[in-house]
Chains A and B, each alone.
Chain A
């Protein structure tokens, strides 16, 4: 168990809808990362937050957004969902923005129908 928690575990929704995925980092970790894992694209970095501020941005669509709250939990918001957004979404955390080691949560499986 990495200590990173993600909810919900599974999410099924329809095209055009909006969902929110939640992540709680390991105790004491200040940095949160979001990744998307799909069969055709593999594991892709989406975005990183450190202590409430955006630090790095990867292949994140404009329909997606994230934030990190004062208690350090993070939420990934996915809107105007398309079938192609069906994937596993992982959150990872690290102690500082300058830490090499990232610890992954169990993921949220999103199915868009």
Chain B
């Protein structure tokens, strides 16, 4: 059973556009929601993360929107660039230092 459901599976965006990736979860005990970026041949790299006590977190061109009542969170990449082309994973964890439950990943391609 997939604890975190991620969509879309793939996404193609024009340079300068907004990329939006969505994730949904069922377990209300989750209290940490990171997004990871993975380039081919590399390990996932922490991009941005949010806790459920805030509805939005922004770091540069990357924003997480969090809807606790809907049990959904999303990653918005503003002014998308070809260098943003990668696979993005959402994840969730319960408590500190515990296992991450990852979404299935979204392959983002930004066309110049």
Q: How far is the CA of A12 from the CA of B36 in the complex (A)?
A: 28
Q: Which residues of chain A (40-55) have a CB below 8 Å from chain B?
A: 42-45, 48, 50, 55
- A35: chain B residues within 8 A (beta carbon): 100
Q: Which of A55, A96, A100 has the largest count of B CB atoms less than 10 A from its CB?
A: A100
- The answer to whether the Cβ of B42 comes within 8 Å of any Cβ in the partner chain is yes
- The answer to whether the Cβ of B43 comes within 8 Å of any Cβ in the partner chain is yes
Chain B interface residue count, Cβ-Cβ cutoff 8 angstroms: 23
- B102: chain A residues within 8 A (beta carbon): 42-44
Q: How far is the CA of A48 from the CA of B103 in the complex (A)?
A: 19
- The answer to whether the Cβ of A101 comes within 8 Å of any Cβ in the partner chain is yes
- B28: chain A residues within 8 A (beta carbon): none
Q: State which of B10-18, B54-62, B65-73, B90-98 sits at the interface with chain A.
A: B90-98
Q: Which residues of chain A (1-34) have a CB below 8 Å from chain B?
A: 2, 4, 31, 33
Q: How far is the CA of A1 from the CA of B102 in the complex (A)?
A: 21
Q: Are B97 and A99 in contact (CB under 8 A)?
A: yes
CB distance from A1 to the nearest CB of B (A): 10
- A44: chain B residues within 8 A (beta carbon): 102
A42-B104, A43-B102, A100-B32 known; A2 vs B97 contact (CB < 8 Å):
no
Residues of B within 8 A of A (CB): 32, 34, 36, 41-46, 49, 89, 91, 93, 96-105
Known: A104-B43, A107-B43. 6 other contacts (CB 8 A): A4-B43, A45-B101, A50-B97, A99-B97, A101-B46, A104-B44
Contacts A/B (CB < 8 Å), 5 sampled: A2-B45, A58-B99, A97-B97, A100-B93, A101-B46
